[in-house]
């Protein structure tokens, strides 16, 4: 997808489609210009209630190409103003409108389109985003993300895949020449984030017979090859992890014929070569049967999504590479299958982690924390500035927070606040959960330093408490993304979250 921005008005820009907007019962400037030239065709849609005052509602209008430089007009509703006098628009309504426009364009025969959402700022309409005022750059970034997301199609394992969108070019029209440079940078950033989100979705959606630990290792190498040396990748195999004493990780991987991999990627943006890195650790259980503690059969196919934490790390690294971000980031992917073979771990087994701490495995379906704990210990060697692990870790987090926000735990409050702010800015929200010592005792074991589960109460919290025992030497946060990483039902598929949160955090940490 090609993104550009120009200081131009709707009458002069040649394009197949002009995307213009209404705020409740009022047309914005570019829509007014078209309406005036075409005898009130757009205002009639509002007057006749053909364009409802609901954010995202839209109508197509076809015009004679000989009369105007555009062939089609897409009129999109921004919804109701939050304040009649001050013309305030909630960001949720704006995002709904951008998503609706992007989806409509991706499903149309249009190859290029020009979007006139910058009219908001020429008309002094305030976009309220979580208590602050959004600027034009944020809007441009969100537009690029929306267009990228709408362009995604899963085709890998379909004999007759859906046709790819015709759309290949988006122009962000600005009425202010001074804003063009900032919007151009925002479009690059948004396009890269959107690309990373789609890559995460693709990895998550692939079937588990394709997306194996070895496949993920190959993906890391391919991403590094395409990065012009900014990104490097290597991986540790079973023997190498055994030498390092990663008994917790290997206790999960040993039941599968697919060898586990610890994948290590390092991205060094310009001017940061000697800086301490931020580290991302992704849970990459490419399929989770539960092991000997076997899961129920219903919806077990969705356990291919148990590697979405790893997928979000891949997507974040891809986004950083594409935008040429000036950051230093190390990514650790703990990739394994959790299978119920004859040599698989059993409830009651005791294993020794890389840290030297022993763990009684009471439930083999609590495997994510076992691969992550050794990866967290491995992260110490990078002397990190911060470490964030991302994992589809617990169903308990879904019970607590549903499908809107991921659970956030941290041993360093300033870091937690930066992650929360990143989630708010990017509309990829997190909610901070307690990490209190009172919960730690639920992990007590009579036969090891700790158990791998803490019982029914506070399951997401005790999982985070478990991980915290391996993250004491640096500032650390844990994102439990079990509720946000994929959708079930008719729209089943990976969401690409929390790539936007992670990239925004890394750019501002």
Give SS3 for 264: strand
- Catalytic residue at 295? yes
What DSSP designation does 509 have?
-
Place of tokens 């997306």: 211
Which of 179, 261, 369, 429 is catalytic? The answer is 369
Has 381 been annotated as catalytic? no
DSSP string for 201-258: HHHHHS-TTTS-HHHHHHHHHHHHHTTTTSEEEEEE-HHHHHHHT-HHHHHHHTTSSS
Q: How far, in Å, are 78, 212, 339 from residue 203 at the CA level? A: 33, 10, 20
Say whether the peptide bond before residue 498 is cis (omega within 30 degrees of 0). yes
Query: Are 30 and 196 within 8 A, CB to CB?
Result: no
Strand, helix or coil for residue 487: strand
Q: Which of 470, 468, 462, 464 is nearest to 445 (CA)?
A: 462
Instruction: Identify which of 445, 492, 484 has the alpha carbon closest to the alpha carbon of residue 466.
Output: 445
- Closest to 102 in 3D by CA, of 190, 177, 206: 190
User: CA-CA distance, 461 to 472, in Å (whole number)?
Assistant: 17
Task: Give the other-Cβ count within 10 Å of 343's Cβ.
Answer: 9
Tokens of 466: 């478990």
Cβ-based neighbours of 444, under 8 Å, separated by 6 or more? 450, 451
| Residue 364 DSSP SS3 | coil
Q: Would you call 97 helix, strand, or coil by DSSP?
A: helix
CA 181 to centroid of chain Cα atoms: 26
Residue 50 neighbours by CB distance under 10 Å: 11
- The one catalytic residue in 59, 111, 295, 346 is 295
Q: How far apart are CA 272 and CA 505, in angstroms?
A: 16
CB 309 within 8 A of CB 336: no
Quick one: tokens of 331? Answer: 């990514």
337 contacts 216 by C-beta, under 8 angstroms = no
DSSP β-bridge partners for residue 326 = none
* Cα angle 473-406-502, degrees, rounded to a multiple of 5: 60
CB 204 within 8 A of CB 216: no
**What is d(CA 299, CA 484) in angstroms, rounded to the nearest whole number?**
16
Catalogue the active-site residues: 295, 369
């Amino acid at each position: 997808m090609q993104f550009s921005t120009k200081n131009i008005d709707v009458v002069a820009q040649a394009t197949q489609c002009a995307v213009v907007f209404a705020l409740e019962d009022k047309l914005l400037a570019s829509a007014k210009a078209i309406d005036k030239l075409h005898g009130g065709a757009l205002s009639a849609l509002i007057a006749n209630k053909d364009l409802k005052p609901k954010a995202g509602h839209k109508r197509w209008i076809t015009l004679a190409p000989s009369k105007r430089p555009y062939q089609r007009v897409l009129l999109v509703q921004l919804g109701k103003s939050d304040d009649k006098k001050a013309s305030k628009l909630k960001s949720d309504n704006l995002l709904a409108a951008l998503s609706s426009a992007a989806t409509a364009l991706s499903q149309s025969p249009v190859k290029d389109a020009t979007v006139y959402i910058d009219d908001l700022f020429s008309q002094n309409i305030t976009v309220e985003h979580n208590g602050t005022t959004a600027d034009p750059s944020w809007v441009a970034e969100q537009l690029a993300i929306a267009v990228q997301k709408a362009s995604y199609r899963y085709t890998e394992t379909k004999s007759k895949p859906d046709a790819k969108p015709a759309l290949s070019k988006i122009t962000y029209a600005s009425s202010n020449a001074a804003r063009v440079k900032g919007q151009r940078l925002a479009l690059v950033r948004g396009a890269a984030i959107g690309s990373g989100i789609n890559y995460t979705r693709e990895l998550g959606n692939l079937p588990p017979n394709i997306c194996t630990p070895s496949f993920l290792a190959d993906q890391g190498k391919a991403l590094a090859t395409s990065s012009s040396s900014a990104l490097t990748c290597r991986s540790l195999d079973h023997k190498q992890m055994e030498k390092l004493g990663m008994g917790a990780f290997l206790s999960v991987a040993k039941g599968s014929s697919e060898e586990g991999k610890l994948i290590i990627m390092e991205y060094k943006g310009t001017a940061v070569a000697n800086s301490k890195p931020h580290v991302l650790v992704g849970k990459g259980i490419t399929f989770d049967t539960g092991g000997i503690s076997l899961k129920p059969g219903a919806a077990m196919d969705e356990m291919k999504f148990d590697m979405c934490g790893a997928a979000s790390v891949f997507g974040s690294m891809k986004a950083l590479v594409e935008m040429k971000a000036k950051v230093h980031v190390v990514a650790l992917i703990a990739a394994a299958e959790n299978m119920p073979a004859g040599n698989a771990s059993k409830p009651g087994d005791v294993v020794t982690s890389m840290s030297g701490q022993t763990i009684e495995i009471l439930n083999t379906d609590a495997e994510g924390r076992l691969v992550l704990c050794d990866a967290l210990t491995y992260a110490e060697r990078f002397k990190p500035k911060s470490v964030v692990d991302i994992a589809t870790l617990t169903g308990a987090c879904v019970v607590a927070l549903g499908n809107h926000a991921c659970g956030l735990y941290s041993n360093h409050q300033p870091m937690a606040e930066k992650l929360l702010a990143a989630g708010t800015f990017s509309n990829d929200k997190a909610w901070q959960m307690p990490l209190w010592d009172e919960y730690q005792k639920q992990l007590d074991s009579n036969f090891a330093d700790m158990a791998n589960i803490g019982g029914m109460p506070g399951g997401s919290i005790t999982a985070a408490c478990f991980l915290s025992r391996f993250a004491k030497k640096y500032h650390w946060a844990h994102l439990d993304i079990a509720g946000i990483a994929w959708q079930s039902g008719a729209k089943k598929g990976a969401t690409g979250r929390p790539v936007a949160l992670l990239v925004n955090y890394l750019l501002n940490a």
